[in-house]
Amino acid sequence: MPWGKSNVKRRARAVKHLLTRSQWRIILMDVDFLQKHPRFTTALGLAAVALLGIFSYSLGPSLSSEAFFLIPILFVGWFANKQAGILTAILCAISWTLADTLSNPNPSHPYAPIWNPALKLALFLTAANMVPVFKEHLQREKEWDRTDYLTGAVNKKSFLELAGLEIERSRRYHHPFTLAYLDVDQLKTVNEHFGHHVGDLLLQWVVKTIRERTRATDILARVGEDEFALLLPETQPEPAQLVIQRIQKSLYDLAQKNEWPVTFSIGVVSFIVPPTSTEEMIRKADHLLFAAKNSGKNRVKHEIVSAAPVSS
């Protein structure tokens, strides 16, 4: 039988394969693609506007359809940009007006052909202008939720998420990475003698100095009151050691210049073989930081995790 159980299963597997592998599925469902290709996104929105015009005309004058026109406006405004959203809003007003005029050539009020389109245009333009405002507000809220309010560094929660992703990348692509834990020695002394505003300024300068000496792909996080974590993706032990030594020297020079009685202890662990979890990774770095502080502070302790671990 052509539609027997085995044929149905085979066809179902074929359809599933197409849905999984289809480039169109990737394009339509990938949010990053829509944001990176505003012209494509706008074209999708404008196609929807044309279809909605036909749909509105088919409904006739008795049924309202303007709410549906908000969908392409919100879609284009969110995934493309404000200008494309405004263009879509104007075309929505035109499409709705044409559909309304064709389906109702004899309006009951003489001013309806002017009044109704003007109101629809105002409504659509308002929606188009509100979308980027709401999007910016949402992105700012998300950014605040992921960063430390004082220094602007990544907060601990976000750092753990990003570190987990880096472990997965390292495991999948066999890339090494390095994690450094840095402690501001005697920050409490600065707060007591100079005031907390100076201590806050010191922490801000720590972040600024580290960022100036690292790559955009490196991740700097504040994980405690006076502790920072620096994740260096795809970084071998030797380059990592040079970077950390340069950072420590820059921070020490900064403290000396401002007469801040602080030093900087750093625990560094380079993973040739990725750790099993973020907890293991942090435990190793924290242990090395503790060893650096117990060795007289202002020290760097570096360990390499591989088939034959080496510590220094």
The domain locations on the chain are 37-146, 156-311
* pLDDT number for residue 10: 57
Q: How many CB atoms lie within 10 A of CB 259?
A: 7
**pLDDT reading at 6 higher than 50:** yes
**pLDDT reading at 136 higher than 50:** yes
The percent of residues above 90 in pLDDT, for the chain, comes to 69
* pLDDT number for residue 27: 46
Q: Which residue has the higher pLDDT, 111 or 207?
A: 207
Q: Give the pLDDT mean for 288-311.
A: 83
Q: How many Å apart are CA 69 and CA 89, to the nearest integer?
A: 8
* pLDDT number for residue 43: 93
Give the chain's mean pLDDT: 87
Q: Give the pLDDT mean for 240-249.
A: 96
Q: Which CATH superfamily is domain 156-311 in?
A: Reverse transcriptase/Diguanylate cyclase domain (3.30.70.270)
**pLDDT reading at 15 higher than 50:** no
Q: How many Å apart are CA 279 and CA 185, to the nearest integer?
A: 24
The H-or-E segment that residue 266 falls in is strand 263-271
Q: Are 233 and 266 in contact (CB under 8 A)?
A: no
Q: How many Å apart are CA 61 and CA 187, to the nearest integer?
A: 72
**pLDDT reading at 48 higher than 50:** yes
**pLDDT reading at 275 higher than 80:** yes
**pLDDT reading at 100 higher than 90:** no
The H-or-E segment that residue 18 falls in is helix 5-21
Q: What Å distances lie between residue 207 and 96, 142, 202, 295, CA to CA?
A: 54, 21, 9, 25
What b/e readout covers 274-302, taking b as 16+ CB neighbours within 10 angstroms?
Answer: bbeebeebbebbbebbeebbeeeebbbbb
* pLDDT number for residue 308: 40
Q: Are 151 and 216 in contact (CB under 8 A)?
A: no
* pLDDT number for residue 11: 52
Q: What is the pTM of this model?
A: 0.62
Between β-strands 219-222 and 300-305, what pairing exists: parallel, antiparallel or unpaired? Answer: unpaired
The DSSP string of 136-187 is HHHHHHHHHHHB-TTT-SB-HHHHHHHHHHHHHHHHHH---EEEEEEEEETH
Q: How many CB atoms lie within 10 A of CB 34?
A: 19
Q: How many Å apart are CA 162 and CA 147, to the nearest integer?
A: 13
In this prediction, residue 26 has a pLDDT band, given cuts at 50, 70 and 90, of very low
Q: Give the pLDDT mean for 302-310.
A: 72
* pLDDT number for residue 306: 85
